[in-house]
């Protein structure tokens, strides 16, 4: 099958609730689509995410149960679970620093990376220490004080950083779902699940956060619940 264009894939993608058990999907193609997910834009290129690709029938059954056995989980051929890993910020900062340094070939290159190293070794660590609740409160007070005198970054609390992590992970999830649609496969992102039980099933640390559970397969006709509805575009579009 010819791979769909981006526009065709977006048009094809629907949240499919019922998958055809007689039409298996290629696990390697799903893995390829997860690789495409990892190319999504991410705040400060920290890539504070992981992707759990569930193909085991026993594990799928357990996770479906923790998704209230909703059809999009229960009938899925495979499941993909994007996970937010704010707790890995130190390691991911170091990965960026190592990558930047690996591209230094001349003294001129060393001078060019000075600003980037300052960003990753001073500014970003100071921000992500705000994942601690009380340090985040201190950061917020300072941001409000600075904001009275100059343009200031305001999203500095533990709750703000949680939102940042989920935004980046959701961008990756959308990359995955569009890539799956390009392959002719269907998906359904689910927010109805018991995150604590799924974290236990996946053996995740307490600091990890489930972004969503994505059912994967090939749709049955009844798996699409009616025609696509969107608010009229002129109600959501503003040109300034």
Count of structural domains within the chain: 2
Q: 153, 174, 198: which is the final residue of a domain?
A: 153
User: Do 98 and 77 lie in a common domain?
Assistant: no
The pLDDT score that the predictor gives to residue 108 is 87
Residue 1 is assigned to a structural domain of this protein? no
User: Do 84 and 99 lie in a common domain?
Assistant: no
10-residue averages of pLDDT along the chain (240 residues): 94 97 97 98 98 98 98 98 98 98 90 94 92 82 86 88 97 98 98 98 97 98 95 97
Residue 224 is assigned to a structural domain of this protein? yes
User: Do 15 and 80 lie in a common domain?
Assistant: yes
Residue 170 is assigned to a structural domain of this protein? yes
The C-alpha atoms of residue 213 and residue 124 are separated, in whole angstroms, by: 29
The pLDDT score that the predictor gives to residue 144 is 87
User: Do 138 and 200 lie in a common domain?
Assistant: no
Domain span including residue 97:
92-153
Q: 135, 153, 171: which is the final residue of a domain?
A: 153
The pLDDT score that the predictor gives to residue 139 is 84
Residue 24 is assigned to a structural domain of this protein? yes
The C-alpha atoms of residue 26 and residue 32 are separated, in whole angstroms, by: 10
User: Do 169 and 72 lie in a common domain?
Assistant: yes
Residue 230 is assigned to a structural domain of this protein? yes
The pLDDT score that the predictor gives to residue 229 is 96
Q: Is 157 helix (H, G, I), strand (E, B) or coil?
A: coil
User: Do 180 and 230 lie in a common domain?
Assistant: yes
The pLDDT score that the predictor gives to residue 109 is 87
User: Do 58 and 172 lie in a common domain?
Assistant: yes
Q: 118, 135, 153: which is the final residue of a domain?
A: 153
User: Do 173 and 70 lie in a common domain?
Assistant: yes
Q: In degrees, to the nearest 5, what angle opens at C-alpha 170 toward C-alphas 199 and 181?
A: 105
Length of the chain: 240
The pLDDT score that the predictor gives to residue 136 is 81
User: Do 75 and 189 lie in a common domain?
Assistant: yes
**Domain containing residue 182: CATH number:** 3.40.109.10
User: Do 12 and 84 lie in a common domain?
Assistant: yes
Residue 240 is assigned to a structural domain of this protein? no
206 phi, psi to nearest 5 deg: -60, -30
The C-alpha atoms of residue 129 and residue 131 are separated, in whole angstroms, by: 5
The pLDDT score that the predictor gives to residue 240 is 97
Q: Is 215 helix (H, G, I), strand (E, B) or coil?
A: strand
User: Do 141 and 23 lie in a common domain?
Assistant: no
User: Do 164 and 81 lie in a common domain?
Assistant: yes
Q: 107 near 130, Cβ under 8 Å?
A: no
């Amino acid at each position: 099958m010819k791979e769909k264009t981006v526009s065709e894939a977006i048009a094809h993608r629907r949240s499919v609730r019922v998958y055809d058990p007689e039409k298996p999907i290629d696990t390697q193609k799903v893995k390829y689509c997860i690789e495409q997910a990892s190319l999504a834009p991410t705040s400060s290129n920290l890539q504070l995410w992981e992707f759990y690709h569930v193909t085991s029938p026993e594990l799928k059954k357990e996770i479906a149960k923790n998704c209230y056995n909703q059809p999009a989980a229960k009938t899925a051929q495979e499941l993909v679970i994007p996970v937010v890993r704010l707790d890995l910020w130190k390691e991911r900062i170091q990965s960026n620093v190592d990558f930047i340094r690996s591209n230094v070939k001349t003294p001129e290159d060393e001078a060019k990376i000075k600003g980037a190293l300052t960003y990753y070794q001073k500014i970003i660590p100071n921000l992500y220490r705000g994942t601690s609740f009380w340090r985040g409160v201190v950061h917020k007070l300072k941001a409000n004080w600075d904001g009275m005198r100059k343009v200031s970054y305001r999203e500095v609390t533990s709750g703000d950083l949680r939102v940042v992590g989920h935004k980046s992970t959701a961008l990756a999830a959308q990359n995955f779902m569009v890539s799956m649609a390009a392959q002719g496969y269907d998906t359904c992102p689910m927010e109805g699940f018991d995150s604590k039980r799924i974290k236990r099933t996946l053996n995740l640390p307490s600091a990890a956060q489930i972004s969503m559970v994505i059912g994967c397969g090939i749709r049955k006709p009844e798996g699409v619940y009616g025609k696509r509805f969107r608010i009229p575009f002129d109600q959501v579009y503003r040109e300034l």
